[in-house]
A and B are shown apart, each in its own frame.
Chain A
Amino acid sequence: MAEQDLASAPPTSSNWVGQRLKRREDPELLTGAGEFVGDLTRPGMLHAAFLRSPFPHARIRSIDASRAQQMPGVHAVLTGADLPPDLAPQPQVHHFAGQRPTPYYALMRDRVRYAGETVAVVAAESRYLAEDALEQIDVDWEILPSTGDAESALRSEAPRLYDDWPDNVAGTYHAEMGDVDRALAEADVVITERFKVQRQFACPIETRGVLAEWDARRDELTLWTSTQSPNVVRDFLAEVLGMPAHRLRVLTPRVGGGFGGKFHFYPEEVAIALLSRRTGRPVLWVEDRIESFTATVHACEESVTATLGAKRDGTLTAIKAEVIGDMGAYLHTVSFGPVWLTSAMITNVYQIPSARVDTLAVVTNKTPFGSYRGWGQPQANFVVERMVDRMALALEMDPAELRRKNFIPPDRFPYTGLVHTFDSGRYAECLDRALELADYREWRARQAALRGSGRYIGIGVSFYVENTALGPSRILNEGGMRQGGFDTAHLRLEPGGEVTLYTGLSEMGQGFTNGLSQLCAEQLGVRPDQINVVTGDTQACPYTGYGTGASRSASVGGAAVIKASHSLRQKIEAIAAHMLEASPADLLIEAGRIWVKGAPARAITMKDVGRAAYHRAIELPPDMLPGLEAIEVFDPPQMAWPYGANVAVVEVDVETGEVKFLDYAYVHDCGTMLNPLIVEGQIQGGVAQGISAALYEELKYDSNGQPMFGTFMDYLIPTAADLPHLRLDHTITPSPIIPGGMKGAGEAGIIGSPAAVVNAIEDALRPFDVKFTQTPITPDTILTALETK
């Protein structure tokens, strides 16, 4: 079905949910008219630049900024010594039991633990002058021994990042069910592999940026920042600066992608606020591309040693895994959350009765680890789906068949596995649809035929489940989280009959405001273009603690919108029934028009209702107070679990090691889709990032923690020219626990695609019997594997 402009949609439609409406913000964004932090300007605004540590680990003996301070055009230089003495360390949203404190600050006073860490900041009349001034700051460094990877950081002789620790382990996690050792002893086939997933990061098109304006008269701070979590920034800034949160206003203009990296609370947000207070001027800092590679949190780097046991008939009986996460220098905003989630997801979609994970979060002299789309799930999926493929090989079974045999069957939901409870799913149906869409059998036949002529085609299957609708709040708190998993929707029918939806969720390009307005329109009986969605202002919008992440906008945010719409509609109906002298049960509402069933001429509009509610109380029912607003909170009873199947078909050039996509089929189930066009965009983008994880992106460090990257020359991001055309279909299994049935869709695409691609490459090279357990798979990886055979 083709997408459509809202303007061309049928004027009286009432079924807005599921329509492929084009996003309302696209004309603005596509013509370059969108206003991002870097586009903002305030009277008297100064520009900031940071001095960052060039060393992975060093003591700061002294800093002399006097020359920089005296340069023309320079207004202030702040170093660690200039920070308020009572400045609190950067707080965290996630906190795991027993984790060790790793305090870090806006500017480091006496020690740095990674290359890129903030040491000083300059405010000047232009960014050029600010960068000139950075060159005049003298730091007397004492270089310390450092460590560039988790494995060597675990050795007893490794340099320690924290002097009072006995080792470099910042936290551990353990989970277990069943009797793993016995199940493995009794298994017919047991395989063990060690996997390594490389360091990557969110790398949005818009880097981060902060504009702070401290109003000394009122002692209030306004902060425009490119974040996914305005309320986290507000709360944490208040905590760090020791000021009341209601004197802080956090605003997000257009945000050019977040992908998790902008969920975090960063030292720069504090430093720029302090710089504005110091200079009495608004101060803008925009992270430049080079900075972004070390200043924005990294992600994904984990190694996993896994053992999988199965019966001869293909029944998977046990899995155990040791997970090591490379946390970089500090536990950042989400602590080792993604590494925990990798561990928790180690049984994926399978009914494996016995499972055990042992997890270590290890500090190294690298940029802190944090959030990136998928949040640890792609790593778990990579391990499990690679292991299942290896097991299929060992059992001489078709890999798709082995999966089907072990899926949690539809009648077992809600299903509680190692950690989580899955709400619903029809996995086999989804996989079958994907195999059909991909012409799986036909590709298998072509694969066999082409091998004879020296062409190597591979078909890779993977299946994933995605953790969405993050909540419920109480369980998150029990798990050590400092924020709730609820969402609040605030709706107002305006005096003119239009609707305003205020949400604490954050729009960063994913387009959820479109989906929410379709949902709200259907609930209220108005058109989506009669709804304005307000986001990104902590003074205007409801408090949504967690912000936007964890694929929660459509599910948790959507359910809150349904609840608020329901409340608002009840009041609208009561007013309209009074005005039309009818019973509320006899009213029909469509496209903002309200009439009595069977008597279409007896009609009023939302405008009439709005007028009555605000301007003419005289028209209201006698016992009703004026005003027409509704605020409702939704806190999910559990999480909702969308899922999907990837089938990648690749051809590997055995002479150059190049991988070419021949086909890519994907079937996805996220329950009710508010706008399939947006869901498909999310999937496309996620698959692009998953393919990129499999083949391209890597933040490579040397053994001391010195970055060996810094531009797009060495951090490879694919373009449309490198990616397959996705053949995409959906099954729809509405979530039984979310009003409206929506599950999230934001992270789906990235979770299963790395495994599918690597399974396909290995499948293509089956005649050579090679094995791939690390990503990215470069042309060199492939030729090296072939040559060592």
Chain B
Amino acid sequence: MKPPRFEYVAPRTLDEALAFLARSPDETKLIAGGQSLVPLLNLRLIRPKYVVDLNTVEGLSEIRRPAEGALRLGAMVRQRALENHPLVRQLAPLLPEAARYVAHAAIRNRGTVGGSLAHADPAAELPAAMTVLRARLTLNRADGATRSLSPEEFFLGPLTTAIRPDEILTAIEIEPPPENTGWAFLEVARVHGAFALVGVAALVHLDRNGIVDLARIALCGVDGVPYAPEWFEEMIVGQRPGSDLFSQVGRRLRETLQPVSDPVIGAEYRRTAASSLVVRALDTAHRRAS
């Protein structure tokens, strides 16, 4: 359980990091919190020639919001900071709620928001949360080019994203949902901190008449990428919220979901639990929406 030999690089600025990456993009891995990369190295499942440390790069850990603009999270913001930062708690309370399910506090102290997104584990919570928040993910390149992707554009499959070998995910921008938007993140895992069997992120907003005018869900643990059913908004927006409506969503999900399976927990379980969890998440988000 020791990694093969690699060269460790500790750039001080983003430009340095990007320049190094541009030199040998296919032989380089970026290390953020290391919570997924280090096991992969130790298991010798990956053998990069260079490991570039983003921890030494200045300016990637900020959480800020320019006046009335989007909430901006540096890619190196620790998951623990996401959980505790007042600005995040105020503008996107879904994120702290989702972050609580990410492993254990000791791991969240090291693990980063950008690292979780770039690793793109299908069971991970933050990709699902970013999907319902319609976050924009900023990618930088050495030549100064930047791209801003939606979660749907960013997550391509299990452990697969749209990040090109010479790009670094540097920031995540989130337009805060309208005031009084209700939120919920629920998850079933076999033990505290284990990988999600299924997790649900939900947002619900009501208009003046108590009719749903914004609702989004995304699930983790059931598909290769965060699962946000296309039919969902059509089914629920414009409707009066309540258990009948939410149960209808649950039933539809149960009919349509084609979840992944593993040797211990089967697809059928995930389908059933996901549909129950979605109903509960919508219920909680609805209660918080008033």
- Please indicate the chain A residues that have their CB under 8 angstroms from the CB of B5 in the complex: 128, 132
Other-chain residue from A288, A708, A719 in contact with B1 (beta carbon distance below 8 A): A288
Q: Is A432 an interface residue (CB 8 A)?
A: no
Q: Is B277 an interface residue (CB 8 A)?
A: yes
* Number of B positions contacting A (CB below 8 A): 27
Please state if A131 and B2 are interface contacts (CB–CB under 8 Å).
yes
Q: Which of B68-76, B210-218, B231-239, B261-269 contacts A (4 or more CB under 8 A)?
A: B261-269
* Residues of chain B from 1 to 18 with CB closer than 8 A to chain A in the complex: 1-5
Q: Is B89 an interface residue (CB 8 A)?
A: no
Please state if A656 and B273 are interface contacts (CB–CB under 8 Å).
yes
Q: Is B50 an interface residue (CB 8 A)?
A: no
Other-chain residue from B3, B192, B195, B269 in contact with A721 (beta carbon distance below 8 A): B192
Q: Is B191 an interface residue (CB 8 A)?
A: yes
Q: Is B208 an interface residue (CB 8 A)?
A: no
Inter-chain CA distance A721–B269, complex, in Å, is: 24
Inter-chain CA distance A626–B192, complex, in Å, is: 62
Q: Which of B1, B43, B265, B276 has the most CB of A within 10 A?
A: B1
Q: Is A619 an interface residue (CB 8 A)?
A: no
Inter-chain CA distance A700–B263, complex, in Å, is: 8
Nearest CB in chain A: distance from B163 CB, A: 24
Other-chain residue from B194, B265, B276 in contact with A780 (beta carbon distance below 8 A): B265
Q: Is A696 an interface residue (CB 8 A)?
A: yes
* Residues of chain B from 78 to 95 with CB closer than 8 A to chain A in the complex: none
* Residues of chain A from 770 to 787 with CB closer than 8 A to chain B in the complex: 778-780, 783-784, 787
Other-chain residue from A127, A696, A779 in contact with B273 (beta carbon distance below 8 A): A779
Please state if B188 and A784 are interface contacts (CB–CB under 8 Å).
no
Q: Is B158 an interface residue (CB 8 A)?
A: no
Q: Is A722 an interface residue (CB 8 A)?
A: yes
Interface string of B169-202 (1 = CB under 8 A from A): 0000000000000000000101111110100000
Please state if B193 and A784 are interface contacts (CB–CB under 8 Å).
no
Other-chain residue from B104, B190, B193 in contact with A779 (beta carbon distance below 8 A): B190
- Please indicate the chain A residues that have their CB under 8 angstroms from the CB of B273 in the complex: 655-657, 779, 783
Q: Is A698 an interface residue (CB 8 A)?
A: yes
Q: Which of B43, B193, B273 has the most CB of A within 10 A?
A: B273
Q: Is A290 an interface residue (CB 8 A)?
A: yes
Please state if A783 and B269 are interface contacts (CB–CB under 8 Å).
yes
Nearest A-chain residue to B263, judged by Cβ: A708
Known A-B contacts A288-B1, A289-B1; A717 and B191 likewise in contact (beta carbons under 8 Å):
yes
Please state if B188 and A656 are interface contacts (CB–CB under 8 Å).
yes
Q: Is B160 an interface residue (CB 8 A)?
A: no
Q: Which of B39, B265, B269 has the most CB of A within 10 A?
A: B269
- Please indicate the chain B residues that have their CB under 8 angstroms from the CB of A719 in the complex: 104, 191-193
- Please indicate the chain B residues that have their CB under 8 angstroms from the CB of A449 in the complex: none
Q: Is A658 an interface residue (CB 8 A)?
A: yes
Please state if B190 and A778 are interface contacts (CB–CB under 8 Å).
yes
Q: Is B272 an interface residue (CB 8 A)?
A: yes
Please state if A722 and B192 are interface contacts (CB–CB under 8 Å).
yes
Q: Is A716 an interface residue (CB 8 A)?
A: yes
- Please indicate the chain B residues that have their CB under 8 angstroms from the CB of A787 in the complex: 268, 272
Nearest CB in chain B: distance from A698 CB, A: 7
Please state if B191 and A290 are interface contacts (CB–CB under 8 Å).
no
Nearest CB in chain A: distance from B119 CB, A: 14
Nearest CB in chain A: distance from B77 CB, A: 24
Q: Is A713 an interface residue (CB 8 A)?
A: yes
Q: Is A718 an interface residue (CB 8 A)?
A: yes
Please state if A656 and B191 are interface contacts (CB–CB under 8 Å).
no
Nearest B-chain residue to A710, judged by Cβ: B43
Nearest B-chain residue to A701, judged by Cβ: B263
Nearest B-chain residue to A127, judged by Cβ: B2
Interface string of B238-267 (1 = CB under 8 A from A): 000000000000000000000000011110
- Please indicate the chain B residues that have their CB under 8 angstroms from the CB of A780 in the complex: 264-266, 269
Q: Which of B3, B190, B266 has the most CB of A within 10 A?
A: B190
Inter-chain CA distance A195–B7, complex, in Å, is: 53
Nearest CB in chain A: distance from B98 CB, A: 17
Known A-B contacts A132-B4, A716-B194, A778-B190; A656 and B277 likewise in contact (beta carbons under 8 Å):
yes
- Please indicate the chain A residues that have their CB under 8 angstroms from the CB of B39 in the complex: 711
Inter-chain CA distance A291–B197, complex, in Å, is: 26
* Residues of chain A from 739 to 780 with CB closer than 8 A to chain B in the complex: 778-780
- Please indicate the chain A residues that have their CB under 8 angstroms from the CB of B4 in the complex: 132
Other-chain residue from A288, A655, A718 in contact with B276 (beta carbon distance below 8 A): A655
Nearest CB in chain A: distance from B147 CB, A: 32
Other-chain residue from A288, A655, A658, A700 in contact with B264 (beta carbon distance below 8 A): A700
* Residues of chain A from 693 to 714 with CB closer than 8 A to chain B in the complex: 695-696, 698, 700, 708, 711, 713-714
Inter-chain CA distance A658–B272, complex, in Å, is: 13
Inter-chain CA distance A647–B143, complex, in Å, is: 67
Inter-chain CA distance A711–B195, complex, in Å, is: 13
Nearest CB in chain B: distance from A264 CB, A: 22
- Please indicate the chain A residues that have their CB under 8 angstroms from the CB of B276 in the complex: 655-656
Nearest CB in chain A: distance from B251 CB, A: 13
Nearest A-chain residue to B280, judged by Cβ: A655
Inter-chain CA distance A711–B188, complex, in Å, is: 20
Please state if A716 and B272 are interface contacts (CB–CB under 8 Å).
no
Please state if B191 and A713 are interface contacts (CB–CB under 8 Å).
no
Please state if B1 and A716 are interface contacts (CB–CB under 8 Å).
no
- Please indicate the chain B residues that have their CB under 8 angstroms from the CB of A128 in the complex: 2-3, 5
- Please indicate the chain A residues that have their CB under 8 angstroms from the CB of B197 in the complex: 779
* Residues of chain A from 92 to 142 with CB closer than 8 A to chain B in the complex: 127-128, 131-132
- Please indicate the chain B residues that have their CB under 8 angstroms from the CB of A698 in the complex: 264
Nearest CB in chain B: distance from A474 CB, A: 46
Please state if A713 and B195 are interface contacts (CB–CB under 8 Å).
yes
Nearest A-chain residue to B195, judged by Cβ: A713
- Please indicate the chain B residues that have their CB under 8 angstroms from the CB of A784 in the complex: 266, 268-269
Please state if A779 and B265 are interface contacts (CB–CB under 8 Å).
yes
Inter-chain CA distance A132–B265, complex, in Å, is: 36
Interface string of A134-176 (1 = CB under 8 A from B): 0000000000000000000000000000000000000000000
Known A-B contacts A656-B276, A718-B191, A721-B192; A778 and B264 likewise in contact (beta carbons under 8 Å):
yes
Other-chain residue from B43, B190, B269, B277 in contact with A290 (beta carbon distance below 8 A): B43
Nearest CB in chain A: distance from B71 CB, A: 30
Nearest B-chain residue to A126, judged by Cβ: B2
Q: Which of B3, B194, B195 has the most CB of A within 10 A?
A: B194
Nearest CB in chain B: distance from A385 CB, A: 24
Nearest B-chain residue to A132, judged by Cβ: B4
Inter-chain CA distance A721–B188, complex, in Å, is: 14
Nearest A-chain residue to B271, judged by Cβ: A783
Interface string of B57-70 (1 = CB under 8 A from A): 00000000000000
The 8 closest A-B pairs by CB, nearest first: A655-B276, A721-B192, A780-B269, A288-B1, A128-B2, A656-B273, A780-B265, A722-B191
Jot down 5 A-B pairs with beta carbons below 8 A, ordered by A: A128-B3, A719-B104, A722-B192, A779-B273, A783-B269
Instruction: List 5 other contacts, CB 8 Å, given A128-B2, A655-B276, A657-B269.
Output: A713-B194, A718-B191, A719-B104, A779-B188, A784-B268
